[in-house]
Amino acid sequence: MELPKPPPDHIPPNPPPGPNPQAHIPQPQPNQVRGDNMADGARNGFRQAMLKTALETIPQLTEENYSIWKDKLMALLKLRGVLNTLNNADVPLGESDNAELTLLIISKMESVTHNNVVTAKNRDSAQKLWASIKE
């Protein structure tokens, strides 16, 4: 009994060594690639869900809730991977990180607190805003 021949466009996952220059490169198996991508996707999905939940639970900063606000915001910033950079004025934030963090900090302030914290000198710098709030 003769085995069916693969279609002409079928390339085996690990072709035998030969004149093909890519023959020595092991090809990933389809289930390995899918598994890795699924794991990455699950981690990213979990991380996104955590960021969203954390953002929703952070209250507006008032004069009475600084400690709770700071703890929750710091946990979010740590999860986002920017807390150390935000605390270190010697390491500049990238433009998109600065814009995102400036929006986050300003949007989580009550208007009275906003008027007491945000100035012409710090309104465009997440690091300066953060330093002003921590003082």
Question: What pLDDT digit, counting tens, does each position of 34-81 carry?
Answer: 445 667 777 778 878 888 888 899 999 999 999 999 999 999 999 889
Helix axes 66-80, 30-57, angle to 10 degrees: 160
Which is higher by pLDDT, 100 or 10?
100
Q: Is residue 8 situated within a structural domain?
A: no
CB 76 within 8 A of CB 51: yes
Question: What total number of domains does the chain contain?
Answer: 1
- Predicted confidence (pLDDT) per residue in 78-94, tens digit: 988 999 999 999 999 99
Domain span at 60: 33-134
Does residue 69 contact residue 120 with C-beta atoms inside 8 Å?
Answer: no
Question: Within a domain: residue 106?
Answer: yes
Per-residue CA distances from 109 to 47, 61, 66, 115, 131 (Å) = 24, 4, 10, 9, 15
Residue with the bigger pLDDT between 30 and 134: it is 134
Q: Is residue 100 part of a domain?
A: yes
